[in-house]
Structures are given as structure tokens and as C-alpha cells.
Structure 1
């Protein structure tokens, strides 16, 4: 269900999840765009500077949307999912499941599904975790390791995205019946990203059409 209400801001108690690799890639892309635009403005002739500026107006919001914007804020009462072009607020009572297959996804009681862009699944890390689990089973085939074994060592045998999803699933199950965690999903489009991107696309199309 779509609601015009503004999502609640994160609090100090929220757990925040982002993709460091995605943010690093975004910084590189923004640097490349800046270099191209400056070069076009300084050395370009005729319509070239305007085309570069229009292209940047289109590209920068899109790059920011897919690299810096994605984040997941998990609080005691709800989860706020900031995806490239939408922000979804789900009270834990409305969450049916949280899964990670080829991507991280959250399902609501009404059957809706939302992707968690800020928690990308790495098949390479998942395979590495599987190898560590197989090695641990080989080293201790009868499960005789002490119950006091280091928990952090056990978590190291799980891919980071899978561990995060497991933590979110546990939080959803624990808080699903809490009175404070009830309510309907709220969805808001990220017009602050969409508006400049659309403006850049229109300006670029006009410049190309009138060239």
C-alpha cells in the first residue's frame, strides 16, 4: 500500500546497513563524471559543454541513487528500506519473511516483496563461507567442539549478507507481535532523485534533437 506520509527518521538505536563496495564504486563514477564535465567545459566547443552538463544532470542522480542512497535502517519497531528510487517503511508486524537467494528480499503479510539494495548477495563470499563450513566439518566430524567455542568463529563461516539477513529475520520474528511494531507499510518515491534525473534526460533529448 502506498502512503504519502514521510518515513520516520532513523534513531540512534537503529542498526544501519550499507554497501561499502557500492559506495566506493559510486565515488569512482562521480569522479569520472566530474573529470569529463570539467574537460568538456574547459576544452569543448559549441554545444559540447551543454551536452556534458545535461548528461551530468542525468547521470549524477542515477549514480547516487544506486550507490550512495541504498541503506537499511533496522529499529525495534520497524525497518526502513531506502532503495534507489523508493523508501519503504515496514513495521515488523507486517513482515512475513526475510530471505537471501541471489538478492536480499523482504516479504510482507499481504504478499508484497521488496529488494534490499543495501545488502547485496556475493556468491563468491557465499562459496568461501561454504568452504569454511566444509573444512570445519572435516576438522570436527563428530561435533565434539566445546559449547564454549568462539561464536565469532562460527559467524565467520557464514557469508556476510546471509548473516545480516539471519539477524533481520530474528529481529522480525522477535518483534512481530509487539504492539509498537504494528501498522501498514508506507512507501514514498524518491522525487529528490527522480526530478533532476528526468530534467537532465529532457534537456539532453532537446539538445540532441535540435543539434
Structure 2
């Protein structure tokens, strides 16, 4: 999307058509919802049926647990568009214009490295060593099939499930790209954006880091209340 030529780069408004690509962990979302259900069920049951200090302890535990569950499971996300990368981690929001990004690393965790040398972990894109091993095995099988002149399914070609509707079939050829774990493909997407947009005029600027006090404050309040209740016996 273009802007009028007479506008300077400093006065150009954000491009409304530049939509974010959003990356989140489905397993973390599912686990977070399940944990919230369990915490609320046990906490409300203690509030209603508990005696003596039990309702207060349950209330303090819920105030502490719910923000932490949300922070570590439902909250993490990575937003990427043509100009910047936004990382929503449990307790911080990091905004990095692509021009301020030095690179992206994948090891035992996925990280983005700023030009200043600061490293920020991508909580929403966790590394799965198991998924990497499965992808490596698929790649080995595909290479073996290619050497035999067959498709990855062991056929010489034809009809294979296409995923178009229930029981749908369509023409599919052998996969041409290397097998990759899902999170590794996400990192490939982000590296491609960095390579393509790192020098763009609209992708320059300084990184910003903001602590998410809306998550931290309730958890600290719950921890203090719980500690006081346990201390007074």
C-alpha cells in the first residue's frame, strides 16, 4: 500500500493495510484454558463450602494463580508485520522495528537478537525437540522415497487425500520442500521478513520494552495476601 508522495516519511501515518501475522502456541492455549477451569472450579468450591480461613486462602490462591496461568499460557504471542516485530511475553511487551533486529536464533529456545545485543525469548514459539526429530525422520523417508522414484506415501503418483472437506481427495504431488518442525517454519517466516524489510525506511526505529503491570500487580497482591494469611496462622 502506498502513501502520497508529498508526505514526508516522518509524518506518514501507519499503513492500515499492514496486518499482523500472529503466532501462538495451540498447546499452551489449550493447557491454559484447562488450568483456568481447574483453578476456578477448586477455588469457587472452597469459597462456597469452605470453613474458617479456607475461603480466604482460596481467594488469595485464585488472585495469585489466575494471572500467572494467563501470563504463561494465554498471553504469549508474536505479532509480525512489514515494519516491526512485537513480542508479548508473560511479563513484558517488546516492540522491535525490523531495522533494530540483528538476527533470530533457534537452539533450545527461539530468540530475537537486537542490534544492541539484547536477547528476547519468543515464549509463543517454543522449541520442540520431539517435533524436530519427527521432521528429520520425515525428511529421511522423503529422501529415501525420492531415491526409489516413489512419492512420500510409497505410490508412483495418483490420488491422495487433499484435506478439502470431509473425505475430500485431490491431485497432490510429492512434497518438494524440506520437512521442518512447525516452530522452525515460524522462525523461517520471521527471518524472511527480517531479510526483506530490515533496510526499509518504515521499519527503522528504536526497540521499546514495557512491563505488563496489569498482569504483575494482581499476582503480587495475591502472593502478599496469601503470605499474610499463612503467617497469621
Taking structure 1 as the reference length, the TM-score comes to: 0.88
**Cα 1:156/1:35, change in 2 over 3 Å:** farther
1:127, 1:75 → 2: CA distance?
30
Shift in Å at residue 101 of structure 1? 1.5
Residue 32 (structure 1) aligned with residue 38 (structure 2): yes
Q: 1:151 to 1:60 in 2, by over 3 A?
A: farther
Distance 2:20 2:173 in 1: 23
Matched, 1:114 2:120: yes
Sort the Cα spacing of 1:28 and 1:154 in 2 relative to 1 into closer, same or farther, 3 A: farther
Query: Unpaired segments of 5 or more residues in structure 2?
Result: 1-13, 152-171
Alignment RMSD:
2.3
Q: Which runs of 5+ in 1 are unaligned?
A: 1-7
Alpha-carbon offset, residue 12 of structure 1: 6.2
2:175 counterpart SS class: helix
Q: Are 2:139 and 2:178, in contact at CA under 8 Å, matched by a contact in 1?
A: no
- Specify the alignment match of 2:111 in structure 1: 105
Greater RCO, 1 or 2 (C-alpha within 8 Å, sep 6+): 1
* Match in the other structure for 2:231: 209
2 CA distance for matches of 1:85 and 1:155? 37
Report the alpha carbon displacement of residue 208 of structure 1 after superposing the two structures with TM. 0.8
Higher relative helix content:
1
Larger Rg: 2
- Count of matched residue positions in the alignment of Structure 1 and Structure 2: 199
Q: 2:56 aligns with which of 24, 47, 50?
A: 50
Preserved contact between residue 22 and residue 67 of structure 1 (Cα < 8 Å): yes
Partner of 1:4: none
TM-score if structure 2 supplies the norm length?
A: 0.80
